[in-house]
Amino acid sequence: MPYLTVGEENSAPIDLYYEDHGMGQPVMLIHGYPLSGSSWEKQVPVLLEAGYRVITYDRRGFGKSSQPSIGYDYDTFAGDLKTLMDKLDLRDVVIAGFSMGTGEVVRYLGTYGSERVKRAALFGPIPPFLLQTPDNPKGLPQSVFDGFKETITKDRYAFFKFFFDNFYNVDTFHGTRISDEAWNASFEVAAGSSAYATLACVSTWLTDFRADLPKIDVPLLVVQGTEDRILPIDATGRRLPELVKDIRFVEIEGGPHNVGWTHPDEVNRALMDFLK
């Protein structure tokens, strides 16, 4: 299993677990909170079959990567991504993120540019800016995130129950698009994540990406469910066309946050059309 060292905390290395499969144009897939790179299992086989090289990795604090108590901010996350991109010497890569992973995509392009990047894709995006402020009235109130932190501190497993029920809109799709077994698999991955990272990342969600977005100079695909309860579409995806020059925005009617699992045919079709 390949690992890449991206830093150090005291005497311990900070290692990212990654997987690199196939040949052809590289596609880098960046997972959402609180999952791991394995959450792309309904996209990876489709991309490999179509002749792409597919790279996934686990964000620090999650999956099989190290669980340090430092580095839970998007400048560090984008730096980790750059280290992996440089290590693999990727060229003409497509970088795609889901949920929290969309922040890495946008911050990477805003900070390091598109020298290595051909296209980018955001699924269930967190940009442009999630926090409600006087100059960002479409954001969500600070009290929402304070409530998340309080619940995580008290009982993060109870928080995961609440989170995944709304991640998949279980009240709508249970037994049809999300099984008990798939829900449980997500819960188990989340339960194995760092307790510190689970809490620290809530503050990270409030990153302001409005200065990064105009710097994106590659074609951008955005896909989001209209019934996204984690990152409401009116506060996120529907705001992006006015902030990015070359964008294709696809709404999946009735889709929840994780449309990559519940609506894989629609998501894969949108991604493959975009890549072609």
* Percentage of residues of the chain with pLDDT beyond 90: 99
Distance CA 105, CA 189 (A): 23
C-alpha 172/C-alpha 253 separation (Å) is 13
Task: For residue range 81-126, list pLDDT tens digits in order.
Answer: 999 999 999 999 999 999 999 999 999 999 999 999 999 999 999 9
Q: How high does pLDDT run on average in the chain?
A: 98
- Average confidence (pLDDT) over 208-220: 98
Whole-number Å distance between alpha carbons of 190 and 193 = 5
pLDDT at 134 over 80: yes
Residue 201 belongs to what domain range?
3-275
pLDDT tens, residue by residue, 177-188: 999 999 999 999
18-52 pLDDT, tens per residue? 999 999 999 999 999 999 999 999 999 999 999 99
The pLDDT of residue 199: 98
Provide the number of structural domains found in the chain.
1
* pLDDT reported for residue 1: 67
> Is 228 tagged catalytic?
yes
Beta bridge partners of 220: 120, 247
3-state class (DSSP) for residue 36: coil
* pLDDT at residue 152 in the model: 98
- What single string gives the DSSP state of each residue in 40-108? GTTTHHHHHHTT-EEEEEPPTTSTTS---SS--SHHHHHHHHHHHHHHHT--SEEEEEETTHHHHHHHH
CATH number of the structural domain spanning residue 213: 3.40.50.1820
The amino acid at 23: M
Residue 267 φ/ψ region, left for φ over 0, alpha for ψ in the -120 to 50 degree band, beta for the rest: alpha
From the candidates 99, 186, 193, 194, which is the catalytic residue? 99
Decide: pTM greater than 0.75. Answer: yes
* Catalytic option among 186, 212, 228, 263: 228
DSSP β-ladder status, 117-123 and 12-21: unpaired
Q: Rounded CA gap, 144 and 95, in Å? A: 30
Q: Give yes or no: 257 in active site.
A: yes
